[in-house]
Amino acid sequence: YLDDMLAKSDYATASEWLQTLYSTPDKVADLPRNLPAAQRQTLLSAALRRWAYKDTEAARKWFDTQSKKQGLTDAALRERAGTRIAWYSTIRGVEANRQWLDDWLTTHPDTSLVAQRARRTVIEQDWDALNEWVMRLPQEERNDSRWLYWRARALESTDQPDQARELYQQAAQQRNFFAFLAADRLGEPYRFSEQKHTPAATFTPPPAVTRIRMLRKLDEPYLAHQEWMWLMWHSNKEQLAELADYALTQKWYDLAVQASIQAKAWNTLAWRFPPAYLPLFEEEAKPHDLDPWLAMAVARRESAFNPQARSPVGAMGLMQLMPATARKVAKDANMGKPTTKTLQDKHTNITLGSRYLAELLEDFNGNRVLALAAYNAGPSRVNRWLENAEDGVPADVWIESIAFRETRDYVQAVLTYRALFVGMHDDQPRSNQLLTQEENDGLYSLTMLDKD
């Protein structure tokens, strides 16, 4: 498409070279010298960015020794190329680039890159270096429970238990995965920090609520959701709070969660984590000896309890099942072939999603960390990640080392959501809910897949 547009323009040669360098970026030294200077420098930078992906070490060497000689002198373009090389050097742990990387981060203190460098010390369990890199982060990030926890782990691993305990206590004040991990290290209960809402005596549902109720009864949940979102956009914070509470009383769970998000009511946990469809989750969990709270936590993360949810890649329903996965699970269960409509039925979706989650747990010997990672990223990727941990690493380190940020966040969120559900609705202690002893004590490597 671009070739046709650029064929008779001043960019024709540059367009051809852009395609060449995308497939073979190591040909960057052959770039014609007679190209306009701005075009040539842009192509040099683009080639290095692509080369960084294909061969990070080679790209770094050429950037260091040849790029200026070849004419890449524009400061902004050099920054773009160097930052990309530094990024892949960090997340891939390219040892040959390590000294260059650390020097680069000293003169180019990009926060996201420094955070990845600190994460690299966790993955490598380089506890002596961890604090140095964390302390290069902005104060706000350093005070997040994630980095408080890892600094405490480093201190604990270098025989400084008193200092570690102090940081664990700071981390445990928050409400997230690492805060709960810190609380478990201390043997203390989780801090939910929940706020209660007292409904206003004068609240009267607006007319839009009547339309929403009618649409839901007419089996038009998509239109009802659109109507609800329109109402959210035209309500102030106080009205949003009343609507969230009203939706919860009506058991419109997905609408309650949406209202809590619009109201930024992060501490009103009753709206954010309602016991949505609990009888269905319990019913479908029993045949598989599955924890219904875990399946519910998956649904909360996947769809915020919206049965009509559909992802850009086609995952559907409460538990966001891909159609191919749903068909396979349904076939194994001797169920009819699922359709778009049936996958948006909460009963069918919970049935298939619970069965699939139970299958993954069986494949990974009951380990929820691995099963959840597989639910998000696929079993084959989890096997590769375990293979990379050759000698075995602790559970928290393995979770931090998951290559995909989405999957790292997913595993942490689902386990945290489950702890919140159990603590709020199951009358269980608000402690030691995050990881089982077996999940926490084992070293993560391929040996975990040994059925014996």
- Both tokens of residue 421? 């559900």
Whole-angstrom distance, CA of residue 304 vs CA of residue 290 = 21
| Residue 428 main-chain phi, psi, to 5 deg | -110, 160
Is 302 marked active-site?
yes
User: Is residue 102 within 8 Å of 122, Cβ to Cβ?
Assistant: no
Per DSSP, 189 falls in state: -
How far is residue 233 from each of residues 155, 226, 237, 239, 309, measured CA to CA in Å? 47, 11, 10, 11, 20
Helix then strand count (H, E) for the chain reads: 27, 0
Question: Which residue in 302, 359, 362, 439 is the catalytic one?
Answer: 302
Whole-angstrom distance, CA of residue 396 vs CA of residue 410 = 14
Residue reference for tokens 């691995």: 370
Exposure pattern of 49-81 as b/e (b: 16+ CB <10 Å)? bbbbeebbbebbebbeeebeebebebeebbebb
Whole-angstrom distance, CA of residue 85 vs CA of residue 48 = 8
Q: How far does CA 225 lie from the centroid of its chain?
A: 25
User: Is residue 306 within 8 Å of 261, Cβ to Cβ?
Assistant: no
Q: How many CA atoms lie within 13 A of 30 on its CB side?
A: 9
Catalytic positions are 302
